[in-house]
Amino acid sequence: MDILSNTPPPTTAVDACIEDGFALDSGLRISGAGVLLVGGEAFKWRPWVRDGRKEGTIGAGAAGDDDKGVSSMAGKLQNAKGQWEVDRHVWGILDLAWPKPDLLIVGTGSRTLPLSPQTRADINELGVRIEVQDTRNAAAQYNMLATERGVQQIAAALVPIGWVEGK
């Protein structure tokens, strides 16, 4: 017996993970960026843009359009130990959200990477539990849990599956 058969999926459900972005159930297509799904809303998300760099510029830890107008996903998301590490400011939406989601599902790209202790501490400080997976599985888990428990309790931070460190 399928008790969720009559429950519509949330409009922020991820229909497809594509190389450079995502297609959502609402028809929205996000390209050249990740997606942060919080409280039933979808936000374009570029965690590889670091403090001190303007979004849209190229440089250490930056992403955007190069001099020829070509969109790129360039920057770093791994520290020297191979752990997934982002600046605290990338969680700004979670800091503002009320009520806070119970669980944040992090999709780290084409493969699962461990979170750095600092990134884990930054998220835990917000009062949110964390689940880390590769992006395809993270998107599937978000879809299932957001349908079961509601979009207010589940959030997702997903990096495109085509993300390549430093390129």
Q: Convert the pLDDT of each residue in 142-166 to its tens digit.
A: 999 999 999 999 999 999 999 888 7
- In this prediction, residue 135 carries a pLDDT of 98
What is the helix (H) or strand (E) element at residue 18, kind and residue range? strand 14-18
- In this prediction, residue 27 carries a pLDDT of 94
84 DSSP 8-state letter:
B
Q: Which stretches of the chain are DSSP H helices?
A: 92-96, 117-125, 135-149
Which whole-number Å values give the CA distances from 28 to 2, 8, 23, in the listed order? 28, 17, 6
The phi and psi torsions of 90 (rounded to 5 degrees) equal: -70, -15
Q: Which CATH architecture has domain 17-158?
A: 3-Layer(aba) Sandwich (3.40)
- In this prediction, residue 66 carries a pLDDT of 44
**List of the chain residues with pLDDT < 50:** 53, 55-71
Q: Where are the domains of the chain?
A: 17-158
Residue 63 tokens, joined: 């992403």
- In this prediction, residue 167 carries a pLDDT of 62
| C-alpha of 8 from chain center | 23
End-to-end CA distance of the chain: 47
